[in-house]
Structure 1
Amino acid sequence: MTQISRATPPSTNTPDRSEGGGDVGTLRDISRRVLWLSAAIVDAANRGRPNRTGIKVGGHQASSASMVDIMVALWFHHLTSLDRVSVKPHASPVLHAINYLLGDLDPKYLTTLRAKGGLQSYPSRTKDPDTVDFSTGSVGIGATAALWAAVSHRYLASQFPDTPPAGRFVSLLGDAELDEGAIWEAVADPQVAKLGELLWVVDLNRQSLDRIVPDMQIERLQGMFTAAGWQVVVLKWGRVIGELFARPGGEELRSRLEGMPNEEYQRMLRADSSEIAERIVGETGSAELTALLDSLTADQLTAAVRDLGGHDLGLLVDTFDAVDAHRPTVVFAYTVKGRGLPTEGHPNNHSALLTEAQMRSLAQSCGAGLEDPWRVFEPGTAAAEWCSRRGELLRRTPYAPSAPLSVPASLGHPHRKPASTQAALGRLLADLVRDAPETAARVVTCSPDVASSTNLGGWINKTGVWSVTERFDWFADDAERVLRWSEVPNGQHIQLGIAEVNLVSLAGELGATWSRWGRRLIPIATLYDPFVSRALEPWSYGIYAGGQSILVGTPSGVTLAPEGGAHQSVTTPSIGLEQPSCVAWEPAFAQDLEWCFLHAMNRVGVPGGTSAYFRLSTRPVDPALAQVPQDPALRERRRLQAVAGGYRLPSPSPADEQITLVGVGAMMPEVIAAADALAGLGVGAGVVCLTSPDLVFRSFQQRGARTAGGGSDIIDELFPPLRPAPLVTVLDGHPHTLSYLAGARGDRIRCLGVSEFGQSSDLTDAYALHGIGTDAIIDAALTLLGR
C-alpha cells in the first residue's frame, strides 16, 4: 500500500496549529521517555506494589508501546487545547505518561495503576486524576464516542451562539477494534461524512488479544471508509526504508516485505539480526536484492524492517498537519506491537510483563533508570523546554456553566381523557415549547427512524429536524402531509438510521455537553422497548463516561399484543432497576408521566445528576382511575410520592386491609379491577401504584444503612411496617423485578408477570396467556389468603 499524499490547507473553522512542534530529534527523545514511563507505570503496579490477594494486576506494555510514537506526534506537536482525543483502552499508560511529562499528572499517581483511588485500568473521564477526554474501556464504543461528541458540539453550536469553540475530535483505535459492529454503524451514518473535524488513527499492529491476525485486508477496510465518504491515509513505511525502496533492488524488497504474511513478518522481528537478510532473500531473491541487503549492516537492516509509518515521527507530524479538514479522515498507521520492548512482535506479548532484567535493559535504551523511574528531563534541555511549552499550550481553562435552568415540576394541564403514557409523552413535549420555552430550548430528541411511532411527531412539527446543513423541503407544498419535518440547522430532533447503538451513543455525548463545554442539554432518546437490550451496553458506557440522558423505551411488554413475541419486552424492567447512575420509571397514568418526566429532566445535565429510563406503553388508561386529589396540598403530596417511586390509592381502612395489590404501568386497570372484585367478595385489598420500582428498591436498601445520606422513606409509606399483609405484585415484565418487596415487611408474596416469549394475540388473550389479567390477580390473592 502506498502512502496517500495531500496538501489540503487547514480549515478556517479549526484552531490555529501554527505553533507546530519541536524538531524530530527532540520528539524522539520524548518518545523514548514516554515508552519508558508507560512500561514503568505497569511495572510498578505489578512488581513494585505488595500483592495481598495473589491476583495478577496486569497491564498492557506491548499494546502501549505500539502507540507511543503516534501519541507523541499528536500531544507534542499537533494537538491544541480545543482538541479532544479518545485513546484506545490498552494504551492508557501512554496517556498517563504523556500527561505526567506535560505537568498534568501528580507523580504520586504513577505507582497507582489499577489501585483504589489511582489510575484506572483503561482511560476514564470520570475516575482518572488527570485529563482524559473519553472513557474507552468498552472496545469499539469508546472509539466512536469522539464522533458523537463532534455531532453534539455541532448541534450545541447551532442552538446557542455562546457555545465555546472546539477543535478536532480524534480517535486512536486498535486495529482489532475494527471488528466491532459499533464502528461501522457509526462510520456509515450519512451525516458523519460532513464532519471534517474527525480524525481517526488506527494502530495497525496486526495483533489482537491472543494472536497475530493472519489476513488484515487493509484494502477492504480502506474501501469501506472510502465508500462512507472518509479520506483514507495509509502510512505503511517510514522514510528510512522508503529511501531503500528507491535503490536498485528496492522494489523487490518492498514487494517481498509487503507480500509476506503477517506471521512471517512478525517472526522476522523475533529473529537474530544476522538472519534477517537471509529470511528476506529466501530462495527466490535476485542478485540485485542480495546486493542491496549486503550494502547494509545487520543493525541497519534490523532497523529498516521495523521502519513502519506509525513509528516515523517526521512522517506522522507531516501527515497530521496536512489532514483534510473538510471531511473525516482515517489514518492507518502500521506499527509493531511492543515496539522497542524485549517482547517486540511476539505473538503472546499482549499481557506479557517485562522482567526486572528486561526493565533494566529497556531503561538503558531509553536513557532512564529503574532506581529513579520517574525522573523527568533535565532543566534546560530541549526536551524539557518543549514539554513545558506544550503543557502550557494544552492547558485548559474550565468553561463557565450556562445560566441555571428551572424545569417546572408540573405543566398544570388537566388529564381527562384515556391516554397511553406514550401519547402523554408526545403531549408533554409539544406543550413544553409553549409552557416552558427555556426548558424546551435545552431539549434535544433523537430516535432511530421511529420518531412518529414513539409520538414525537408534534414536538418535531414545532421544532424541526436538525441537520448538519440545511436541506430543501420537497414536500413543503403537500397539503396532505401531517408531519412537517423540515430539516434545518437549528432543529431540535436528530433522526438517525435504524441503529440503536448510534442512538444511545449520541445521547450519551449530548448528555455530556454540560461538563465538556459548560452548556446544558436534556437529551431524550426514544426506541422500541424490546431493543433496549441491544442498546444497553453503549448506553451504560455513556453513563459511566459522565453522559446524562433520558432513554424512552416504548411500546413495551405484551400490551403490544398483536405484534407478537419478538416485539414484547420481558427483561427491561429488571434491566432498568439494575443500571447504575440511572433511575428507571414505569408510570401508569398520564399525570404520573408528566410529573416523573419533568422531575427526571431536572436531574439531567447537572453536577451530581442522573440518567433516566422510562418504560412506556401504547395502552390507553383512564386517568380517573388514579384518583388524583383536587386539593392543591394533597395534589402536591401525590406528586411528591409519584416522583419518590409510588403511592397508595384510596382503599379500605388500614384495619380492614387483608391483602395488598401492587401494580406497575399499564397493569394498573387490572389491579384496580381486581381490588374492586375482591371487595365484592368481602376481601379488603389495598392498592399500591409504583411509578418507579427502582426508587422503591433504593428506599428498601437504605434501611439501616450505615452510610450518610440516602433516599426517601417511600417504602414505609407504601408498606407500613405495623400493618403487614400478603402481597400480590403484577407488571407487564419479568415477575422477579418486584420480588424484593417480600422483604419490606416479611410478607408472603405472589409475583405475577411475563416470563415466557409471547405470541400475536389481542390484549385479553395476551394477559390470559401470561397470567397477569384481573382473574389471575384475584386468584393469586385468594390463594395467599387460603380461600
Structure 2
Amino acid sequence: MTSNEHVDDRAPQAVETLEEIAQRVLWLSTSMIHHANRIRPNPSGLKVGGHQASCASMVSIMTSLWFEQLQPGDRVSVKPHASPVLHAINYLLGELDEKYLATLRSYGGLQSYPSRAKDPDTVDYSTGSVGIGATAPIWGAMSRRYVDAAFGGVDGDAQTATGFRGRQYSLVGDAELDEGAVWEAVIDPGIADLGEIVWIVDLNRQSLDRVVPNFAARRLEKMFDAAGWQVVTVSFGTLLDALFARPGGEALRERIVDMPNPEYQRLLRCTADELRTRLPGDGPGAERIRVLVADLDDAALTEAVRNLGGHDLAALRAAFARIDDTRPTVIIAYTVKGFGLPTQGHPQNHSSLLTVEEYAELADTLGTDPDAPWARFSDDSPAGRVCADTADRLRREPIHTVEPPVVPTDIGRTPKGTATTQAALGRVLLDLTRQAPDAARRVVTVSPDVSSTTNLGGWVNKVGVWSSSERHDWFGDDAETIMHWRESPTGQHMELGIAETNLVGLMGELGATWSRWGEPLFPIGVMYDPFVERALEPWSYGIYAGGQSILVGTPSGVTLAAEGGAHQSIKTPSIGLEQPGCVSWEPAFAIDVEWTLLAAIGRLGRPGGTSAYLRLSTRPVDQSSANVPADPAARERRRRQVVAGGYPLVRRDGAVVTIAAMGAMVTEALAAAERLEQIGLAADVLCVTSPGELYRALQARQGHLEAESWILDHLLPAERATPMVTVLDGHPHTLAFLATVNRVPSTSLGVSEFGQVGSLDEVYRHHHIDTDSIVRAALDVTGH
C-alpha cells in the first residue's frame, strides 16, 4: 500500500462536516489567544501576544491534513505561529484536557510555539525559530531511514511500497522561505529520493508588517522544481474555478493572477459594491469581468474573491491525492492571512488581536458562545463522529525504547610520543569498534565535507558512508585512493556538503530517535571550530527539542595560525560553557579526548541525557607531559577528574602561584612553570578540561543548583590557594571565574581580538598567551 491510498474520496456531505470542524478549530485557536490577552489577569501589564491571523491562515490546511490525510506513522512540523491550531485539533481529538486551553503562554501551560518537551499534548517537532522547524522533518526522514536500515524498522508503523514508514510533513509559512538555510536543505542532493517529505507552504503573501509587493510564486515553483521536488500548486477554490468556467471567466482569472499582491489584498477588505468597481480594472478584459460579476449577489461575490485554494477543502484533498511519494513534494497553497476573522487580509494583522466587540462578532458568525468558548462537538453529531474516527485512526502504539548499550569509560591505551587531540578523535572511534562493537554500531558521524581534514578518514573507511540506496564506488579499485567512499544504507557516516546548519539539524534528529522510535543513536558531528557559531542556533534548538548529540569543533583557536584571523575561533570556549543541556570539554592530551568522548557518548540516547561539545586542536603535544598514572586506581581517579572538569598536572611544594591552562595552552603553561622554578618561584599547573563543569560545581557549592562539587576540592583545595593565572586559546573570561573559588588575585590571559596569520610563536606572542606572557603575568600577580 502506498501512503496515499488511505485518502478517501469523500462525499460532499463529508466536506460540509469538515468545514464545520474547521470553523470550530478557528474558534478555539482564536479563543485561546483572546483569553490569554483579554480575559486572563495580567498584573505585569506586559504583552502576552499570539497570532490569530497566522492561525486562521492555516486552519483549513491543518483540518484537511489531520481529519483526512494523516496516518499513525506520519509526523508533522507545525509552523510556530500556528501552535494554537495544533492544540485546538488535539483538544477535539481528546488528546488535550480542557484546562489547558486557558493557559496559552502562561507558566506551566501551553507554550508560545510547539514544543515536544514542554507541551502537554502530542507535538512531533519543536518549532519557533524560523526555518529550523521547516527543515527538521527532512532530517527526521533521514534519521528514520537510518534506524530502519540499521535496526530493522519501527514497531507499529506499516512500511509503504516505496520503502519508507510514514510521511514527514512541514507546514511552512511563506516568510520562512526567506531563510537561506531552508534552501540549503531543499537543494541537498541527499534528499532527492526521500519521497516521504511533504512541505505545505502557507502562501499568504504577508510579512510581519506589510503585504510583500513582489512575492513571486511562480519563481518558488521553479526553484523547488529545479531541486527535483514535485510541485503541486493549489491556487483557487471551487467557487473561483466555477466562475472561471463561465463567460468572462478567463479574463477574471488573468486579472487576479496578474494583479500585484497589495492590490489583491486590498480587495479582501472591500464591500461588494467596491468590488464591482475595483475588480474589473482597466485592462482589455475589464468589460467582460464587469458583466460576469454583475450577475453575482453580494455574498457570492465577496466569498468568491477570497476563495483561494488553501481554504477550499475539496481543492486541498485533490492536492494531497497528487503526491506520488517517489520524491519530495511541496504543496504551495494560496491563503488569506486572517481568513474568517474580521482582520482578514489587513496588512498589519500579523500580531493584531480581535477586540472584545470583534470577538463577539466572530462568535455570532460561527454560532458559538463567547461565555463558554471550549465546547466540543456532541458525540452523536457528524462532526463528533469524524473527530472520534480520526482519533482512533491516529492513535499511536506506545514506543518500546531500547536501552542504550554500555559504553566503556576507558579503552586502556596510554598514548605515547607526540599527537594531536584532533587525531585522537578518529583513533578513539576505531578503538570503540573493537572494544565495544554494540556501542560503536550506534555511532553515526556527520560532517560538512571535512571528513579527511578532521581525521575521520580511518573511521569512514571502516564503517562506510550512509546513503538511502547502494551506490557504486568507482574509485574502489584505485590503489592511490586512501579514503574510500562506499555508500549504502548500512553506512555510519553522513556528509551533507558545506552546510553547517544542515549538519546540526540532522544531528538533532539523529539524537532524538530514542524518544521518537525507541532506537538510540550516538550522533557525532564534526566541523571546523570557527564555524560552530554559524551552526549554534539550530544545534541549540535541537537540544531544546530533545536531540542529544556530540558536536566536535576542530581545528580551533588562534592555534590554527596559518589559516589567518578569519578561521581562528575566539568565543567558542565560552559558548560551550554557556549552552544549556550541554557539557563542553577541551582536552589537552589524547587520553583526555578518549575519556571525555566516551563519557559524552555514554550520556546520549536516554531520558535525562545531555549533549556535548568537544573543542579539539591540530597542535602536536608531547603525550608524556600528561603523566598518566600507571596504577589502575590512580588512573581511574585521573579519568574521573578529566571528565569532571580538570586535574592537577604539576604540584610543587611551596607553590606561590597557580597556572590554570586549557587545551593547546598546556604546553606553554608547563614551560612557564619550569621558567618560574628556575628563578625560585614554585608554580602549580592545573589542566582544565571543562570550564562548564567546574562552574556548575561552583554553583552547587554555593547552593544554586543540584550537582556534585567534589572536583573543586581536588583541583583547587583551599590549603593550596595561591594567586592565579588562567590561560586558554579563546576568550579569557571563560576561566576568569576560577579565581573566585578561593577568592585569590588573578590574571586571565586569552584571545580577545581577531587573529593574525603567522607562525605559532608569532601568533601566541601577538595575543600574549606565549610562555613569556604567562611568566610575566605570574610575576605580576604574585608581586615579584
Provide the TM-score with structure 2 as the length reference: 0.97
Q: 1:711 to 1:181 in 2, by over 3 A?
A: farther
Distance in 1 between the 2:569 and 2:755 partners? 9
The alpha carbon displacement at 1:255 in A equals: 1.1
RMSD of aligned residue pairs (Cα, Å): 1.3
The alpha carbon displacement at 1:736 in A equals: 1.0
Distance in 1 between the 2:516 and 2:4 partners? 17
- Counterpart position of 1:612: 612
Q: 1:162 to 1:206 in 2, by over 3 A?
A: closer
Of 79, 93, 96, which aligns to 2:87?
96
CA displacement 1:216-257 (0-9 Å, x = unmatched): 111111111111100111111011110110111001111111
Distance in 2 between the 1:107 and 1:320 partners? 31
Matched-pair contact (CA < 8 Å) for 2:404–2:605 = no
- Counterpart position of 1:313: 313
Structure 1 window deviating more from structure 2 (671-680 vs 226-235): it is 671-680
- Counterpart position of 1:4: none
- Aligned pairs for 1:273-672 (under 5 A) are 273-284=272-283, 285-653=285-653, 656-672=654-670
CA displacement 1:156-210 (0-9 Å, x = unmatched): 1111114344300000000000000010000010011111001000000010111
Distance in 1 between the 2:233 and 2:294 partners? 29
Distance in 1 between the 2:60 and 2:442 partners? 41
The alpha carbon displacement at 1:21 in A equals: 6.3
CA displacement 1:273-331 (0-9 Å, x = unmatched): 22111111234454432221111001100000111000010111121133110011001
Distance in 2 between the 1:613 and 1:288 partners? 67
CA displacement 1:700-738 (0-9 Å, x = unmatched): 11123165x323331232111243211100001111111
- Counterpart position of 1:14: 3
Letter of the structure 1 residue corresponding to residue 643 of structure 2: V
Matched-pair contact (CA < 8 Å) for 2:726–2:748 = yes
The alpha carbon displacement at 1:485 in A equals: 1.9
Structure 1 window deviating more from structure 2 (397-406 vs 453-462): it is 397-406
The alpha carbon displacement at 1:742 in A equals: 2.2
1:31 aligns with 2:31: no
> Helix, strand or coil: the match of 2:447?
strand
Distance in 2 between the 1:483 and 1:706 partners? 50
Matched-pair contact (CA < 8 Å) for 1:652–1:686 = yes
> Helix, strand or coil: the match of 1:281?
coil
Distance in 2 between the 1:232 and 1:728 partners? 61
Structure 1 window deviating more from structure 2 (17-26 vs 162-171): it is 17-26
Structure 1 window deviating more from structure 2 (131-140 vs 361-370): it is 361-370
The alpha carbon displacement at 1:426 in A equals: 0.9
The alpha carbon displacement at 1:13 in A equals: 5.6
- Counterpart position of 1:745: 742
The alpha carbon displacement at 1:600 in A equals: 0.4
Q: 1:745 to 1:128 in 2, by over 3 A?
A: same
CA displacement 1:405-431 (0-9 Å, x = unmatched): 100001112211211110001101111
Q: 1:761 to 1:252 in 2, by over 3 A?
A: same
Matched-pair contact (CA < 8 Å) for 1:550–1:613 = yes
CA displacement 1:22-51 (0-9 Å, x = unmatched): 810110000000000000000110111110
Matched-pair contact (CA < 8 Å) for 1:464–1:488 = yes
Letter of the structure 1 residue corresponding to residue 429 of structure 2: L
Distance in 1 between the 2:5 and 2:393 partners? 12
- Counterpart position of 1:161: 152
Distance in 2 between the 1:643 and 1:191 partners? 36
Of 46, 50, 63, which aligns to 1:72?
63
CA displacement 1:530-562 (0-9 Å, x = unmatched): 000111111111111110100000000111111
The alpha carbon displacement at 1:382 in A equals: 0.3
> Helix, strand or coil: the match of 1:194?
coil
- Counterpart position of 1:5: none
> Helix, strand or coil: the match of 1:270?
coil
Of 686, 689, 697, which aligns to 2:687?
689
Letter of the structure 1 residue corresponding to residue 663 of structure 2: G
- Aligned pairs for 1:78-157 (under 5 A) are 78-157=69-148
Q: Unaligned stretches of 5+ in structure 1?
A: 1-11
CA displacement 1:441-473 (0-9 Å, x = unmatched): 000001000000011001011100111111111
Structure 1 window deviating more from structure 2 (329-338 vs 621-630): it is 621-630
Matched-pair contact (CA < 8 Å) for 2:51–2:82 = yes
Distance in 2 between the 1:301 and 1:198 partners? 37
Distance in 2 between the 1:309 and 1:205 partners? 11
Distance in 2 between the 1:633 and 1:650 partners? 19
Distance in 1 between the 2:632 and 2:329 partners? 59
Distance in 1 between the 2:287 and 2:760 partners? 82
Matched-pair contact (CA < 8 Å) for 2:701–2:709 = no
The alpha carbon displacement at 1:625 in A equals: 0.7
- Counterpart position of 1:7: none
1:222 aligns with 2:221: yes
Matched-pair contact (CA < 8 Å) for 1:150–1:197 = yes
Distance in 1 between the 2:28 and 2:276 partners? 33
Matched-pair contact (CA < 8 Å) for 1:21–1:76 = no
Distance in 1 between the 2:525 and 2:33 partners? 40
Letter of the structure 2 residue corresponding to residue 294 of structure 1: A
Distance in 2 between the 1:16 and 1:528 partners? 46
Q: 1:706 to 1:474 in 2, by over 3 A?
A: closer
Distance in 2 between the 1:348 and 1:538 partners? 29
> Helix, strand or coil: the match of 2:453?
helix
Of 721, 724, 735, which aligns to 1:724?
721
Q: 1:153 to 1:187 in 2, by over 3 A?
A: same
Identity across the alignment (%) = 59
The alpha carbon displacement at 1:19 in A equals: 6.2
The alpha carbon displacement at 1:16 in A equals: 5.7
Provide the TM-score with structure 1 as the length reference: 0.97
The alpha carbon displacement at 1:623 in A equals: 1.5
Distance in 2 between the 1:310 and 1:286 partners? 27
